[in-house]
Amino acid sequence: MTFPIRVLVVSAIVGLPLASFAAQQHPNMPAGMTHEQHMTEMKKEAEMKQHGRMAMGFDQDKATHHFTLTTNGGVIAVTANDAADEATRDQIRVHLQEIGQSFTRGDFAKPLMTHGEVPPGVAGMQRHKNEITYSFEHSDRGGSIRIVTADADALSAIHDFLQYQIREHATGDPVAVQK
């Protein structure tokens, strides 16, 4: 008896739907996406998590990212998923302080390392680095970087960068300024 036939027989005998067996292999495929596209997306996400761990210093599955667009810039917020996970919380804080300092210098190596490409908006943020301020703030489970500018071109670049982050990290955050 071949493997697929055995699975069907076992599923029928045990009463388990075949779909539950298939679902255990990998996450559900979004509607309108081919299997190949889904596999490519899953591979890209796994690589981003691995590269993110190296660039950020913490396990991406133990933290949640949020990106907010504001009228004068935006916010990058990262929190440990588990309130008792002090190690991840502390690693998040170190990372955010480091990227605030790096971004101030126009150094965007960590987003490049994480995503494997230069995110949209980086060139503009580098060009306008003297018109942008980055300030770190603690939170109970991590922290945030507030990005502020009064320059219209810098603001557009910041928003492009944050919108990219929202898509790449699949945060579900709004991709426009909320009023």
pLDDT tens string 45-99: 656 555 555 556 678 889 999 999 999 999 999 999 999 999 999 999 999 999 9
| Residue 32, pLDDT score | 74
Identify the residue whose tokens are 């101030």.
104
Residue 95 located in a structural domain: yes
pTM: 0.71
Please say whether the beta carbons of 61 and 126 come within 8 A: no
Residue 149 located in a structural domain: yes
Q: Which H or E run contains 149?
A: strand 142-149
| Residue 117, pLDDT score | 85
Residue 176 located in a structural domain: no
Distance from C-alpha of 170 to C-alpha of 71, rounded to nearest angstrom:
22
Domain that holds residue 111: 38-169
Higher pLDDT pick, 142 / 2: 142
Residue 116 located in a structural domain: yes
Please say whether the beta carbons of 146 and 137 come within 8 A: yes
Whether 2 has a pLDDT exceeding 70, the answer reads no
